[in-house]
Amino acid sequence: MQPGEALGVAAQVAVTLAGFAGIVVVFRPESVHNWSRLDRFRLTLLLMNSALPLGLSMFGMLMLSVEPVPASIWRWCSGLAFVADITVFTFMPNPRRRLSAVDLKAVNMWIFYGIAVIATAAAVLQVINFAVWNRFWPFLAAVFVHLFTAVAQFLRLILLPPHRSGDS
């Protein structure tokens, strides 16, 4: 599969996942404003992990459309992916401050730390790709990690009952 095709598929999946977020909101019995903080945080993660790979894929497709294609295209894409990941990580509210102790006990730490390890590995790949490799696959790995995380959040929102806490 060519890079443009792979990025096109990733963009389609990202848009689909963002649309699924709307389905989750519509079929929940109450308004988003009445959801628990944990469920709103999960929805935020779903939307962020849908929007970010969409933006990254579109940037990659934009770079592929430049004639002639820049020799350092995947360096630029990996650099943008790393900066975007760090920016989101920096400005995303800290769940330990945002969620109550009751809400935090409901978080599956295996999933939380598993995704954190995978996301960290993808960020390290972006740095290496920017500095040394200039290959497509590390950039696609970053897009994949975000899509994988969005799917995990979507499944949790669909399969788990709405979380109830005393301080919604």
pLDDT of residue 168: 47
> Is residue 38 predicted with pLDDT exceeding 50?
yes
Give the chain as a DSSP string: --HHHHHHHHHHHHHHHHHHHHHHHHHSSS-GGGS-HHHHHHHHHHHHHHHHHHHHHHHHHHHHHSSSPPTTHHHHHHHHHHHHHHHHHHHSPPHHHHS-HHHHHTS-HHHHHHHHHHHHHHHHHHHHIIIII--HHHHHHHHHHHHHHHHHHHHHHHHSPPP--TT-
Lowest mean pLDDT among 68-72, 128-132, 159-163: 159-163
> Is residue 32 predicted with pLDDT exceeding 90?
no
| Overall average pLDDT of the 26-31 stretch | 83
- The model's pLDDT over 78-107, given as tens digits with 9 standing for 90+, comes to 999 999 999 998 988 777 677 777 777 778
pLDDT of residue 16: 96
Structural domain spans, the chain? 3-159
